[in-house]
Amino acid sequence: MKELIGKRIWFARTSSLGANLIEKIYTATYIQIPFFWKDEFGNEKSRNFNLSAQWTEDNETLLDYYDLKLTVTDHEMSTGDFEKDVNQSIKKGLNSSISFNEFEIDQIQILSRNEIVDNEGELRYDEGILLINKNKDKILLSAELKCIDQVEFVTDSNTIEKRITELKKRKTLGNNV
């Protein structure tokens, strides 16, 4: 995750995209966000940040929650043939996209939830990732709690503020905004 600090994003790819355009919430089973930066020679570089969620049940408390799965991967090499590259992407199912203004990640907050079970046990799990830029704009990546194995990409500041009120900051990476 630390690798994302200072990197630029401006779109996300997915398949089977669902959208609530009023609250600017996009849902999918898998979201891939390419991130970009310039190397020491000024060459544009990029990798992919991949997010998915998996339904899990705690063995002791039997509480259901979603385990966020995060990976950073290299891009596949382009064949040089645009049509072939697009067809290859479609075959992989990454045929929908979410576009937004360029966003340079300045800070990442890992947000968690604490659940008390039968006034005895406590279960703590990560429920969201909050990306923040220097202007304090935010993007929330989280598990979609109503649908199994779905993740959300949220860009509306009011929706984000409502969502994170019950969550705790578990970890902060990057600059203090």
Higher pLDDT: 104 or 44? It is 104
* Cβ neighbours, 10 Å, residue 161: 11
> The pTM is what?
0.83
pLDDT surpasses 50 at 34: yes
Residue 65 lies in a domain: yes
pLDDT surpasses 90 at 134: yes
Question: In Å, how far are 2, 4, 11 from 38, measured between CA atoms?
Answer: 17, 13, 17
Higher pLDDT: 117 or 35? It is 35
Angle at 103 between CA 170 and CA 89, to 5 degrees: 100
pLDDT surpasses 70 at 13: yes
- Write out the residue range of the structural domain in which residue 60 sits: 2-104+140-165
Q: How many domains does the chain have?
A: 1
Res. 73 pLDDT band, cuts 50 70 90 = confident
